[in-house]
Amino acid sequence: MTTNPLILLLISSLLTSTSTESTKSKSTSIVFTTLGRSRYNFDIFSTPLPLTSPPSSHQLTDGISVNFNGFFLPDSSLLFVSERNSTSNIYVLPSPSSSSSSRRSTLQLLLPSPLLASHLSFRDRPIISGDHLLYVSTHQPSSIPRQSWSAVYSTHLPSSSTLRLTPPGVADFSPSVSPSGLWTAVTSSGSRPWSGEVQDLLTDIYLFKTLDGSSRTFLLHHAAWPSWSDDSTLFFHRRSSDGWWSIYRATLIVPSSSPPSVSSVRRVTPPGFHAFTPAASPASPQTLAVATRRSSSQYRHIELIDLSEDGVAVAYHEVTRLISPYAHHFNPFISPDGSRIGYHRCRGGGDNGESSRILENIKSPNPDDFSLFRIDGSFPSFSPSGDRIAYVGLPGLFVMNSDGSGAPIKVFSGNAFATAWDWKRPGVIYTSYGPEFATESTRVDIISLTLDKDDPSSPPEIKKLTKGGENNAFPSPSPDGKWVVFRSGRDTHKNLYIMDAEQGESAELRRLTEGAWTDTMCNWSPDGEWIAFASDRQNPGSGSFAIYMIHPNGTGLRKVVESGDGGRTNHPWFSPDSKRLVFTSDYAGVSAEPVGNPHHYQPYGDIFTVGIDGSDIRRLTHNSYEDGTPTWAPIFLEPADVAENLGDGERCGFDDCHWLSVDNHQVLSSTTTC
Ligand SMILES: *[C@@H]1O[C@H](CO)[C@@H](O)[C@H](O)[C@H]1NC(C)=O
Ligand SMILES: *[C@@H]1O[C@H](CO)[C@@H](O)[C@H](O)[C@H]1NC(C)=O
């Protein structure tokens, strides 16, 4: 590999340990789930303009990891975000002066600064303006629960000095610099905590001076994803009152001595299809690139719109449906000279020999204490010795060796959810069987599976531990192997119960919690002292969950953590030393506009840990995906990826945002539910 630094390489203390204090959980690992993410392998592609018939495209990025949200520099270099090397970062691919194979080898990491290099954060939407790199980063915590940590930063590349352009206490997304460079427009949720809405963040557009963030000015209400065609014309998207996502154009008055203001706004795309994530082009102001969802395709595609002088859409040109009809295409961008359009999509089969990963290593914020992994499955749990992982696939229950040896084995093919291993009886796994997210009356029961000692692929012995199907789920055994705590809807509401681990509720059953609310997702501490669980008891039925602990004898109930008013804090799991909990929460809100990403039911979960006394909350993941169902392993797994083999269809089989309905009746009736 040749090294040919393009702009500036600041590689010092590259993501070395930032841990200062031992959590006394040394030599452990945390494994969690991200909906769909293990199946994405995005690359950035480009199509020459004007469009040929049919249009052509070629792949710009190198077929490694997930590459997205590109930006063309004037010399045709490509700036983009990549999740390679187990963390989100900004890279630059030099301009195509030579053959594509040597181009690929000159990919460079563009670290914002030595200081930022040591921080883990989500980095997004890079732009170069003059000598400055502008981008979104989540490395500074918000002081308000549920407020996004996303803010716009500017790094002066020659000196690497970095300035936060977003004021403290405010969250900004999707920056766009005006053609003159003077003004930057952002999508902003302001200083209010995120409301919990996922399909329409109800953001506004603000402007500030690109140089230093000064003269911050409100520009547009209920608007997002700004893109400039000239210094007085700004395109954006919003979900219109008729339910359709549409492109709008704002014409600005640009006084020389004060910030711009809006003189008029007009809707560019009509009802009847969704159009969003606009990319304007100063080189061809009469052309707009957008992503669309139309009833004629199941997929999100890139189109070009010809605009009249006064901003009316006069013609639409399909781009990607004619090239790769059966893939979702995201977030278009146009080169400064107007000669190319870029976008990202799933590349399908692994180029460059890269396999998919059953366990993807994620950079740990405390690498001396624990390694961190994303699993291609959900509800993972480790056997007591740590040598095996049980997890839920789609559908079914699988067991794999935690060193990645051999292939995962499907041990149960029903719709299982949640997994936990018995501490005393080797090869015994508890799970619940039936539909998830179901009402109290749904038939879900807890079963135990006993794996064959000698032949793990032979069918396990299955025993039903609950009988009545009253939504009995989330089993977690006591460390002495005698009991299983679980949640059940047998008495109208979902509360916690404890039953005999071997013979089930018919041998012994007692109630642990009681109230007209939901207690669920319970986990028994390895030292036997506590049961942690999620509950909405503060505001029953609101969807707002906090984490509580209670002694198995029913005493000592206390709240450990909540994510703020109306927040969701779920899926607690104890560390092997019983001193901390790992959990998923919307504590840090969303990190990017959800419409610019594939489907996530809740595009906001991140993984956190907390001391069992509620102190010292730490954020482990930074991304715009839905991270959930973490488990804490008793052993340390080397921080390296574990490969798996997937077919092409399985790699790109994720969905577009399910709320982008193209059925008009559904559009009109869908409001805030997700
Ligand atoms: C990935 O990280 C390693 C060391 O941490 C570094 O040597 C390598 O250059 C990085 N690769 C890229 C593409 O940044
Ligand atoms: C309940 O269990 C806790 C933790 O083991 C213990 O400290 C406490 O004394 C017990 N209380 C009763 C009433 O048994």
Q: What is the CATH number of the domain that holds 110?
A: 2.120.10.30
The structural domain count of the chain equals 2
Q: Which of 319, 346, 373 marks a domain boundary? A: 346
Structural domain includes residue 93: yes
Closest Cα to atom 10, ligand 1: which residue?
A: 85
In terms of domains, do 61 and 159 share one? Answer: yes
Which atom of ligand 2 is nearest to 553's Cα?
1
What is the C-alpha to C-alpha distance for residues 43 and 37, in angstroms, rounded to an integer?
14
- Cα of 1 from ligand 1 centre, angstroms: 12
Amino acid at 233: T
Closest Cα to atom 6, ligand 1: which residue?
A: 85
Helices of type H across 111-190? 114-117
Cβ(9) to ligand 1 under 6 A? no
Q: How far is CA 454 from the centre of its chain?
A: 39
Relative to beta strand 370-375, strand 28-34 is parallel
Q: Which of 346, 377, 408 marks a domain boundary? A: 346
Amino acid at 665: H
Structural domain includes residue 664: no
- Cα of 584 from ligand 1 centre, angstroms: 29
Phi, psi dihedral angles at 451 (to 5 degrees): -75, 145
Whether the pLDDT of residue 236 is over 60: the answer is yes
Which atom of ligand 1 is nearest to 85's Cα?
1
In terms of domains, do 78 and 189 share one? Answer: yes
Structural domain includes residue 669: no
Structural domain includes residue 94: yes
**Cis (ω within 30 of 0) for the bond into 332?**
no
In terms of domains, do 337 and 370 share one? Answer: no
In terms of domains, do 609 and 515 share one? Answer: yes
Low-confidence winner among 103-112, 127-136, 456-465, 513-522 (lowest mean pLDDT): 103-112
Amino acid at 140: Q
Low-confidence winner among 29-33, 35-39, 113-117 (lowest mean pLDDT): 113-117
Summarised one tens digit per residue, pLDDT across range 553-566 is 999 999 999 888 78
In terms of domains, do 66 and 153 share one? Answer: yes
3-class DSSP state for residue 352? helix
- Pocket mutation for ligand 2, best pick of 498, 524, 527, 553 (most atoms within 8 Å of C-beta): 553
Average pLDDT over residues 220-237: 97
Confidence band, pLDDT 50/70/90 cuts, at residue 258:
very high
Amino acid at 462: I
- Cα of 556 from ligand 2 centre, angstroms: 8
Summarised one tens digit per residue, pLDDT across range 393-431 is 978 999 999 999 988 999 999 889 999 999 999 999 999
| Smallest-distance ligand from the CA of 529 | 2
In terms of domains, do 303 and 399 share one? Answer: no
> What's the maximum distance between 2 C-alpha atoms anywhere in the chain?
81
In terms of domains, do 382 and 334 share one? Answer: no
Q: Which of 316, 346, 376 marks a domain boundary? A: 346
Phi, psi dihedral angles at 234 (to 5 degrees): -125, 125
Percent of the chain with pLDDT strictly greater than 90: 74
- Pocket mutation for ligand 1, best pick of 14, 65, 111, 641 (most atoms within 8 Å of C-beta): 14
In terms of domains, do 223 and 340 share one? Answer: yes
Cβ(14) to ligand 1 under 6 A? yes
The pLDDT score that the predictor gives to residue 303 is 98
- Cα of 501 from ligand 2 centre, angstroms: 21
Mean model confidence pLDDT for the chain: 89
Q: Which residue has the higher pLDDT, 552 or 200?
A: 552
Whether the pLDDT of residue 11 is over 90: the answer is no
**Ramachandran sector of residue 248 (left: φ over 0; alpha: ψ -120 to 50; beta: rest):** beta
The pLDDT score that the predictor gives to residue 98 is 45
- Cα of 84 from ligand 1 centre, angstroms: 9
The pLDDT score that the predictor gives to residue 109 is 74
What is the C-alpha to C-alpha distance for residues 60 and 612, in angstroms, rounded to an integer?
47
Structural domain includes residue 356: no
**Cis (ω within 30 of 0) for the bond into 395?**
yes
Cβ(11) to ligand 1 under 6 A? no
| Smallest-distance ligand from the CA of 91 | 1
Which atom of ligand 2 is nearest to 554's Cα?
1
For 201, the token pair is 């963040």
- Cα of 85 from ligand 1 centre, angstroms: 6
Structural domain includes residue 15: no
Cβ(156) to ligand 1 under 6 A? no
| Smallest-distance ligand from the CA of 552 | 2
Closest Cα to atom 3, ligand 1: which residue?
A: 85
Structural domain includes residue 237: yes
Q: Which residue has the higher pLDDT, 84 or 176?
A: 176
Kindly give, in sequence order, each residue whose CB lies less than 8 Å from that of residue 388, ignoring residues fewer than 6 positions away: 382, 399, 400, 401, 402, 421
In terms of domains, do 336 and 442 share one? Answer: no
In terms of domains, do 315 and 403 share one? Answer: no
Structural domain includes residue 215: yes
In terms of domains, do 320 and 418 share one? Answer: no
3-class DSSP state for residue 345? strand
Domain of residue 66 covers 40-346
3-class DSSP state for residue 324? coil
DSSP-assigned beta bridge partners for residue 405: none
In terms of domains, do 286 and 332 share one? Answer: yes
Q: Return the closest-CA partner of residue 522 out of 574, 459, 572, 556.
A: 572
Closest Cα to atom 8, ligand 2: which residue?
A: 555
Cβ(551) to ligand 2 under 6 A? yes
- Cα of 36 from ligand 1 centre, angstroms: 25
Which atom of ligand 1 is nearest to 64's Cα?
13
